[in-house]
Structure 1
Amino acid sequence: MASSMKSSLIIFFTCSLFLQVALATYKREVICENLPNGVCAFSIASSGKRCLLEKSTTEDGISEYTCKTSEVIVGNMREHIESDECVEACGVDRNSVGISSDSLLEAQFTSKLCSPACYQKCPNIVDLYFNLAAGEGVYLPDLCNKQRTNPHRAAMELQSSGAAEDFADAPAPSPSSF
């Protein structure tokens, strides 16, 4: 009887240990500074803040990259590391140091960003570029609609000084609409 009790305790202890390891793995906190540089860009920390890749140069002139936590808070997402599928579908680069709205001027980039594979399935990246476009006075859903119907005209309108005025009065969608 004592040996069956020992066996039961050993089995119980082993199972509880596996459960603790599984829960610890599942509840792993995402901290930007702990992420490898290869997954930093387009990730969101447990705090809800975006991660960004920063470049610095040592005294020896060697470039070093580090993952840092930005002050930009993403409303509905936490603990998110962007998938390779979304990075490819949206045409973004994980090695991006800083992200600019200038890429919205490139027809190829806008085409990928506005494609169903990106726009409908990658809300993190779409939200990021939605906010970048809004900072330029451009409403991304309208830009995508124009891009689908006439890609060259969409890029030209974005470059023109009147583009910001055309899109500035449009209502902003909620992040859940992505």
Structure 2
Amino acid sequence: MGYSMKMSFALFFAFCMFLQGTLGEVICETLPTNLCSFAIASSGKRCVLENYKNDQGKLEYTCKTSEVVVERISGYIESDQCVNACGVDRSFVGISSDAFLAPQFTARLCSPACYQNCPNIVDLYFNLAAGEGVYLPALCEKQKANPRRAMLGLLSSGAAPGPVAVDSADFVADAPAPSFF
């Protein structure tokens, strides 16, 4: 058997193992770190990327199961297409609502390519926004109409400290979460 045939067989085998893991049971602790963020275990809990120092003091990463349960979806690994469309990064440790303070992030999250096609990521950030008192669909509408005003409204909602005073009634998370699934 030639080198190219062996390489083809090895790639096929690796792909089959990956596909089996994707379609079969997803266990956060067994995921490679480059697939951890935005994955959901078969148990329905979100996977999170964590860092730690190894015995030599070098920073390493591991995938862990969080206590956050996702309704109506389990055993899911987010696609690279959605990661790119939504402007998120699988290499970030932890996920924060601070991302909303970057107008580019909010624009990408609210873009049709993300908002209409990537319910897992949108659900995650919907919940983060709600935790800050912001209703994501209203923020996205403001983003489309006037990105600068959307940022001012977000800042005044309490999502981040700042001296800006704008009526934030449109941003308060008092409505139910959208049904994506």
Please give the TM-score of this superposition, normalised by the length of structure 2.
Answer: 0.79
**Distance of 1:135 and 1:164 partners within structure 2:** 15
**Distance of 1:62 and 1:164 partners within structure 2:** 44
2:130–2:173 Cα contact (<8 Å) kept: no
How far off is 1:27 after superposition? 5.5
Corresponding position: 1:135 with 2:139: no
Farther-moved stretch of structure 1 (156-165 vs 55-64):
156-165
Corresponding position: 1:94 with 2:98: no
Corresponding position: 1:37 with 2:41: no
**Distance of 2:67 and 2:167 partners within structure 1:** 28
Distance verdict in 2 for CA 1:145–1:96, change over 3 Å: same
**Distance of 1:175 and 1:36 partners within structure 2:** 30
How far off is 1:158 after superposition? 0.6
**Distance of 1:87 and 1:157 partners within structure 2:** 26
Residue equivalent to 1:72: 68
2:27–2:41 Cα contact (<8 Å) kept: yes
The aligned length equals 156
**Distance of 1:163 and 1:122 partners within structure 2:** 30
Residue equivalent to 1:175: 179
**Distance of 1:145 and 1:105 partners within structure 2:** 16
Residue equivalent to 1:56: 52
How far off is 1:49 after superposition? 0.3
Structure with the bigger percentage of helix: 1
How far off is 1:174 after superposition? 3.6
**Distance of 2:110 and 2:84 partners within structure 1:** 13
**Distance of 1:152 and 1:97 partners within structure 2:** 28
- SS of the counterpart of 1:173? coil
- SS of the counterpart of 1:38? helix
1:137–1:165 Cα contact (<8 Å) kept: no
Where structure 1 has 5 or more consecutive residues not aligned to the other structure, the ranges are 1-20
**Distance of 2:84 and 2:142 partners within structure 1:** 22
Residue equivalent to 2:11: none
1:54–1:67 Cα contact (<8 Å) kept: yes
- SS of the counterpart of 2:62? strand
Identity score, percent? 59
Task: Map Cα deviations across residues 70-109 of structure 1 (whole Å, 9 max, x no partner).
Answer: 0000001101100000000000001110000011111100
**Distance of 1:129 and 1:114 partners within structure 2:** 11
Please give the TM-score of this superposition, normalised by the length of structure 1.
Answer: 0.81
